Structure 1
Amino acid sequence: MIKLFDAHCHLQDPRIANKVPKLIETALEHNIHHFAVNGICEKDWHIVKQMSDTYPCIIPSFGLHPWFIADRTTNWLTTLRELFDTNPSAAVGEIGLDKGSYGKKTDFADQVQIFTMQLQLAKELKRPASVHCVCAFGELIDIMKSVGPFPEGVILHSYIGSAEMVPEFVKLGAHFSFSGHLMGMEESKVKKMLKAVPFDRMLLETDAPDAVPKVSGSESIFLVEEDENNGDPIEMVNHPANIHFVLSFVASLLDVSKEEVADLSYRNAVRLFSYEGSKLQQGNSLTSDKEE
C-alpha cells in the first residue's frame, strides 16, 4: 500500500486551521500519514506547537519566513530557541530568501541576516531546515557554503531551481521537495531537473493551502471556503490529499512507477525527520488522536 509523507505544508494557515481535524482524517484515508507543518512567524508558532501536541502525525517546524521578518520582535531569536528546547521533535522552518515580487517588499540584506542566523541555529541544534527560495539561488548556495555543510539536511521546499545547481546543493546536504508548483512549469525543464536529483534526496509536499496542482476540478480534492453572506465559494485552496497528483506528475516524468516514487520519498522523509529527539526517533505512532 502506498504511504505518503507531506514534507512541507501549513495546516496552521487561517484559511484551513479550523478544518484541520477533518483535513487530517481525509488525508489519512488517502494514505498521507505524516505532515511537516511549518510555522512562518512568531504569531503562528504556538498554533503549530498546539497542533503537533494534538496530532502526533504532525512534525512541527518553527521559523521566520522572509516575508514576515519586518514584523519580528526584539526577542524573536530567544523565543525560537526556547521552542526548540521544549520541542525536541521540531525542525527549523520555514526560513529563506525571496527576491520575487512579494519578497522585494522586504529588505534583502535583512533577509540574508535573519536567514543566516536561523540556518546557523539549525546546524548548531542538529535539526533539518526547510528553506524557501525565490529568485535567489545564487545567494542561497553562497550562504549554505559559508555555514554548512548540513549533515542533518536542508530541505529546498517547492524546488524550482535549475538542474545544474542540484549537484552543488547535494554536496552541502540538500534535499529537494516537490509540490504542485512543478505542474505550472515547462515540462522539459522540470524533467531535466527531476532527473538530476538523486533518488535518496527526493521529497514530496503540497505546501497546502497553497500550490494547488494544475489538474481538472473533477479530479481534484480542494477545500472550498464559502462566503458566509450568500454561500458562494470565494476561494479554492489546496488539501494535503492532493499530494497524489504531485506524485503522479513526478513519477510520469521520471518514467518510474508511482509506488516507487511514493516509497522512496516516504523513506527519505522519515529518515530526514528521524534525528535524535524526534517523534519518529522515539517510535511514536504518527497518527491522529482520531485514528488512534
Structure 2
Amino acid sequence: MLTDTHTHLNAHQFDEDRHEVIQRAIENGISRIINVGFNRETIPSSIELAERYDFIYSTVGWHPTDAVDMQDGDLEWIESLCSHPKVVAIGEIGLDYYWDTSPKDVQDRVFREQVRLARKVGKPIVIHNRDAHQDIIRVLKEEKASEVGGVMHCFSGSWETAKQCLDMNFYISFGGPITYKNAKQPKEVLAQVPMDRLLVETDAPYLTPHPYRGKRNETGYVRLVAEAAAEIKGLDLEELASITTANAIKLFGIR
C-alpha cells in the first residue's frame, strides 16, 4: 500500500471531481494521503478534508511565496491547529527564489518562525525549496531543525545537498520529475538515498508524471512515481511501497 506524502486535493482544480479522484487513488493502492495546507485559504480546507476521510492527514504552514501576507496572529493560529489529531506536520514552509512574490528577508523571517514553532510543538517540517538550496540548509542548521526533522518535498538538489539534509534528520521525497527522461540529477540522487529515508509524492495537481505530463496530476499517480523509484532502486513495487509507507508512518507519527 502506497502513501502520497504531499498533495493538494483541496485545490480548486479538483472542485468538480474531488471524491472521484480520491476513489481512484484508493483503487491504485494508496492507503494514506498527506494533504498540504499552506496559507490562510488552504489550511482550513485541508483540515476539513482530513476530517472527512480517515486515511487523509493534513499539514499546516505558511508557504514562502505567501510570506508577505502573513499577519499578526497567523503563527499563533497555526500553533493552535497543531493539537488537531489529523495535523501531522508544519509545512509546507521554506524559501522560494523563483517566484518574485515575497521579499527574501520576509521569507527568511517567516521560515525561521515556523521552524521554531515546529520545535516548540514537536512536529516534523515539510520543506519547500526552489532555487534556494544554500540558504535552506543554512536556516535549518541555525534553527536546529534536526531536533524535529522532516521531509525535503519534491527534492531537486544535488547529492551533496541531500547528504546535508539527511544529516539533519530529514527524509528525501521524490515526485513526478523522476519519471521524466531528462531528469538525470533527481534519478542519480534517488539512487543514493538510503531506503529508510525515502518517500514518494505527487504534489498534485502539479508535476504530473509521465505519461500524463501536461495534464492535471492526481494522487493516484503516485503509483507511477513509485514504479519509477522501484526501478531505480532495483526493487519490486510492493517492496518499495511497503518501505516508503513505513517511512511516512514513522515520520508523521501516523497510527
The corresponding residue for 1:228 is none
| Of 21, 24, 31, the match for 2:22 | 24
Matched, 1:161 2:140: no
Q: Which amino acid aligns with 2:177?
A: H
The corresponding residue for 1:144 is 140
| Of 89, 105, 110, the match for 1:114 | 110
For the residue of structure 2 that corresponds to 1:193, the secondary structure is: helix
Report the Cα distance in structure 2 between the residues aligned to 1:243 and 1:27, rounded to whole angstroms: 8
The corresponding residue for 1:172 is 168
CA displacement at 1:188 relative to structure 2: 3.7
Kindly report the root-mean-square deviation, in angstroms, between the aligned alpha carbons of the 2 structures: 1.8
- Which is greater in Rg? 1
For the residue of structure 2 that corresponds to 1:209, the secondary structure is: coil
Contact kept? 1:191, 1:254, Cα under 8 Å: no
The corresponding residue for 1:59 is 57
Cα deviation per residue 1:117-162 (whole Å; 9 max; x = unaligned)?
Answer: 1111112111111111011110111111111243442110000110
Report the Cα distance in structure 1 between the residues aligned to 2:229 and 2:79, rounded to whole angstroms: 36
The corresponding residue for 2:129 is 133
Cα deviation per residue 1:241-282 (whole Å; 9 max; x = unaligned)?
Answer: 1111111211222222222211111110011111xxxxx34x
CA displacement at 1:87 relative to structure 2: 4.3
Indicate how the Cα distance of structure 1 residues 19 and 254 shifts in structure 2: closer, same or farther if over 3 A, else same: same
Indicate how the Cα distance of structure 1 residues 40 and 239 shifts in structure 2: closer, same or farther if over 3 A, else same: same
The corresponding residue for 1:211 is 207
For the residue of structure 2 that corresponds to 1:42, the secondary structure is: coil
Q: Which amino acid aligns with 1:251?
A: A
Report the Cα distance in structure 1 between the residues aligned to 2:85 and 2:73, rounded to whole angstroms: 18
Contact kept? 2:177, 2:183, Cα under 8 Å: no
What is the number of residues matched between the two proteins?
Answer: 255
Cα deviation per residue 1:192-239 (whole Å; 9 max; x = unaligned)?
Answer: 211221111100000011110121x5xx8xxxxxxxxxxxxxx83111
Ranges in structure 2 where 5+ consecutive residues have no aligned partner: none
Matched, 1:196 2:192: yes
Q: Normalising to structure 2: TM-score of the pair?
A: 0.93
Report the Cα distance in structure 2 between the residues aligned to 1:258 and 1:170, rounded to whole angstroms: 24
For the residue of structure 1 that corresponds to 2:12, the secondary structure is: coil
For the residue of structure 2 that corresponds to 1:38, the secondary structure is: strand
For the residue of structure 1 that corresponds to 2:173, the secondary structure is: strand
Q: Which amino acid aligns with 1:76?
A: D
Q: Which moved more, 1:255-264 or 1:265-274?
A: 255-264
The corresponding residue for 1:240 is 219
The corresponding residue for 1:272 is 251
CA displacement at 1:88 relative to structure 2: 6.2
CA displacement at 1:187 relative to structure 2: 4.3
Report the Cα distance in structure 1 between the residues aligned to 2:223 and 2:86, rounded to whole angstroms: 30
Ranges in structure 1 where 5+ consecutive residues have no aligned partner: 221-234, 275-279, 282-292
Contact kept? 2:155, 2:172, Cα under 8 Å: yes
For the residue of structure 2 that corresponds to 1:161, the secondary structure is: coil
Report the Cα distance in structure 2 between the residues aligned to 1:174 and 1:212, rounded to whole angstroms: 24
Report the Cα distance in structure 2 between the residues aligned to 1:105 and 1:264, rounded to whole angstroms: 38
For the residue of structure 1 that corresponds to 2:156, the secondary structure is: coil
